Structures are given as C-alpha cells and as structure tokens.
Amino acid sequence: MSKPAIVVSELSKQFNVNTSGANSLKTALLWWKRRQRTEYKVLRGISFDVARGECVAVVGRNGAGKSTLLSLLARVYKPTAGSVSIHGRVAPLLELGAGFHPDLTGLENIYFNSIILGLTRKEVAERVDRIVEFSELRDHVTAPTRTFSSGMLARLGFAIAIHVDAEILLVDEVLAVGDFDFERKCFAKIDEFRANGGTILFVSHNMQAVRRVADRCVWLHQGQIRMIGKPDEVIPLYESTPLDRATPA
C-alpha cells in the first residue's frame, strides 16, 4: 500500500499574545518588566492522513484552526508539538494574493511564483501562455498586481498552481470569489487533477463545494477534530450544530 500524501500526527500550534501595552516611556519600562503573555492554543493534538489521490475538506467555524492547519502544512508556521509529513510537490493557495509582490506585474508574478514552486525559468516560459489563458487576465497581466481585484488575484493564483506539476494542492477558500463561470472551470480542472492522481486538502465554508469534490471531511472544533467521515455523514451534523456550541470560547 502506498504511503499517504499527507500525515498529520499529534499536531499542536500555540501562539503567545501580549496582553498589555504601553503609552509612555515609563509605562513601557514597567510593561517590559511585567509584560504578560496569553497562550492561545489554536490546534490541540490533531491527527489524520490524506491518501494519494484523495480530496479532503476541512470544515469548522471561524477560529476553529482551519487556516492555521493549512499554514502548518505549507511550512508557513512551525508546529508547537507534533509533526507534519508531506510526500510530493505542494502548491499552496492559502489566501487571495498570498505570495504575489504588489509592485510586480501579473506576468512577473507568474515567473516569480512558479519558480518558487519548483519550475525552471524555461519551464515557466513554456507554460506562461497557458497560465494567462486560463486566468482570463490577458488584458491585465502587464499591470501591477496591487491593481488587481480579489477575484483577479484568485484567478491568477489558481492558474499558476495548476500549471506547476504539483502533486498536492492546499487550498484555502480561494474559489469563493463570486464568479460562477470561472468557479465551474476551476472545478473541472480539479476533476482533471484528481483523475491524474493529484491530492487536495482544502478549507471551505461552502458545503455545496465540499459535497461536490470531497471524498472525506475533517470537522475541526476548538482546535480539535470533532469528526472525520464522508461529506454526507459530517455536513448534516456540522450544519445542525448551534453556533454557540461550535464556536471556540
């Protein structure tokens, strides 16, 4: 049996947040001596695997730890405890515009991001027309990305990710841009990616999208796994859970 594409083992992440501040030199010195830190535990020892070729959706209320989990998988953060193992080339789409330099043009960002994700400059040159065509941004690709709307950034980010020979996609709500036609095209590309053995872990509040593409759901609640199962098993329970019982304290 082949090794899983993603293995999350007893993964925990804690952030330390300063709880006091200073508005003068004297209070600053006192604060430095007496400063207090609050430990904010975002993830609390979660474990799960994602098989090669599988599509897993992570669901949960705001603050449950979903985006932090993806950031840990993408090596943006280091775990406080536990481990993450990823076997394959990863293309992360963590948030709209993440990784884009605002003063570079769309075209320059295609080269910049594609090379970061493992392509050579020659390989990018061979694919750049396909990337631009998929993004539908040919009339804007020579403008700096700081002039792009959120929808345009999503188009460009997704177009790059699916053209860099990634084996694993990490996706954080990047398709939630309100463009039905482009969303439909992205889902078709996801189907093609999966048919070719690609693995996907994605975060979404859109339960229709989860039902559409996910093989399994991981339901996060207060930084812990509340349930893992097929979408038709997890989603009804998740949606029927009152907000005050599903939101972290």
The model's pLDDT over 219-232, given as tens digits with 9 standing for 90+, comes to 999 999 999 999 99
Average pLDDT over residues 33-62: 88
Residue 36, pLDDT > 70, answer no
Residue 154, pLDDT > 60, answer yes
Eight-class DSSP state of 50 = E
56: which 2 tokens? 């897993």
Question: How many H helices and E strands in the chain?
Answer: 9, 9
The model's pLDDT over 78-116, given as tens digits with 9 standing for 90+, comes to 999 999 999 999 998 876 566 789 999 999 999 999 998
Tell me how far apart the alpha carbons of residues 31 and 27 are, in angstroms, rounded to a whole number.
Answer: 6
Total number of domains constituting the chain: 1
Residue 21, pLDDT > 80, answer no
Residue among 204, 200, 239 nearest 92 (CA): 200
Residue 30, pLDDT > 80, answer no
CATH code of the domain covering residue 215 = 3.40.50.300
- Looking at residue 126, its pLDDT comes to 97
Eight-class DSSP state of 147 = G
- Looking at residue 249, its pLDDT comes to 32
In this structure, are residues 223 and 72 in contact, taking their beta carbons and an 8 Å threshold? no
Residue-range definition of the domain harbouring residue 230:
6-246
Q: Which residues have C-beta within 8 Å of that of residue 163, sequence separation ≥ 6?
A: 114, 127, 130, 131, 134
Q: Is residue 167 part of a domain?
A: yes
Q: Is residue 51 part of a domain?
A: yes
The pairing of beta strand 216-221 with beta strand 224-229: antiparallel
For the chain, what percent of residues have pLDDT higher than 90? 61
- Looking at residue 246, its pLDDT comes to 47
Q: Is residue 165 part of a domain?
A: yes
In this structure, are residues 213 and 55 in contact, taking their beta carbons and an 8 Å threshold? yes
Q: What is the 3-state secondary structure (H, E, C) of 72-139?
A: HHCCCCCCCEEEEEECCCEEEECCCCCCCCCCCEHHHHHHHHHHHCCCCHHHHHHHHHHHHHHHCCCC
Q: Is residue 1 part of a domain?
A: no
Q: Is residue 226 part of a domain?
A: yes
> Which 3 state secondary structure label does DSSP give 192?
helix
